[in-house]
Amino acid sequence: MQKKPVLLTGASGALGRMLARELGAAGYTLRLTDISPFPDPLPAGAKFVRADLNEALAIVRQAEGCGTILHFGGNATEQPFETIIEPNIRGLYHIYEAARREGARLVFASSNHTIGFHERPKGNEAKLDFDCQFRPDGYYGLSKVYGELMGRLYWDKHGVENVNVRIGSCTPKPMNARALSTWLSYPDLARMMIRCIEAERVGHSVIWGASNNPATFWGKDHRDRIGWQPQDNAEDYRAEIEGKVSGDPVEERYQGGFYTPIEYSRKGGFSPRDAFDLD
């Protein structure tokens, strides 16, 4: 087990709280940070400090001596551009600079919303591989594209190892029919983070953040580099959720789900491909 502390940003969010609990129970020394107070009892040996991602010095101080940074901080939903830009773009730069300074591995909580305007596959249509074209479905997804490209830059230029996890629908259980393809269970995410920390070498990696769902939208990725295989399966909930659809034709057409219709103003239908056979 890695002896250096692990820094977890966004520790007060739903995923951060779960990871703090699970990683603490697994014996990791944790440094937790968030702009909001940590609402739970601290795991044994963990320390929490309130910090803003926009404050470079505060981030550098929290990262000192850490071997891995799990970056789950920033705005986690679709927001106006001006709300997204500070924590998700400027704040991420501070995180990467801290990782470069400390020689730490960075695990970036990316999102399926980086590719949200790809259509959902039908029948035997090919699934998306990790190197597919980015097609973000909003400003939040766009910020995650930026984050993945920053990881590419910092690996190529500075040798900062990074794992970019395109999280699907990470909830205690799948909530609707789309989640039959996108669901990532809490235990599968926790097991993935342990492998991200412990893997010998990861380079610049991209992993689809979904459980072992037969209906998945997604194909090849770099999970073998960290030695992770999901164990849970959304099919266990099919009878409960397969009828839960939105009825919105945009939401149901594209992989990004309910993010895709937000401020959607295209006139006369869907993407240009429908009219002009263009991507």
DSSP string, 70-96: EE--S--S---HHHHHIIIIIHHHHHH
What pLDDT was estimated at residue 124? 84
For 210-230, write each residue's pLDDT tens digit.
999 999 999 999 999 999 999
| Range 244-250 contact pairs with CB under 8 angstroms and sequence separation of 24 or more | 244/175, 244/176, 244/177, 245/176, 245/177, 245/178, 246/176
pLDDT at 273 exceeding the cut of 70: no
Please enumerate in sequence order all residues whose Cβ is within 8 A of that of 14, keeping only pairs 6 or more positions apart, or say none: none
Q: Which of 28, 96, 140, 146 is catalytic?
A: 140
CATH of domain 6-276: 3.40.50.720
User: Residue 1 has what pLDDT?
Assistant: 67
Mean pLDDT of 164-185: 98
* Cα–Cα nearest to 69, from 38, 41, 94: 94
Confidence of residue 3 (pLDDT cuts 50, 70, 90): confident
268 confidence band (pLDDT: 50, 70, 90): low
Q: Domain ranges in the chain?
A: 6-276
CB 88 within 8 A of CB 77: no
Give the residue from 137, 103, 78 showing the smallest Cα distance to 255.
137
* 108 token code pair: 């970036």
Query: What's the predicted TM-score (pTM) here?
Result: 0.95
Q: How many Cα atoms occupy the beta-carbon half-sphere of 150 within 13 Å?
A: 23
pLDDT of residue 114: 98
Bridge partner residues of 71 (DSSP): 9, 108
- Whether 237 is a known active-site residue: answer no
Mean pLDDT, to the nearest integer, of 47-57? 96
Question: Can you read off the two tokens belonging to residue 199?
Answer: 């893997």
Instruction: Give 123's pLDDT tier (boundaries 50, 70, 90).
Output: confident
The one-letter code for the residue type at 274 is D
Q: What is the pLDDT of residue 270?
A: 72
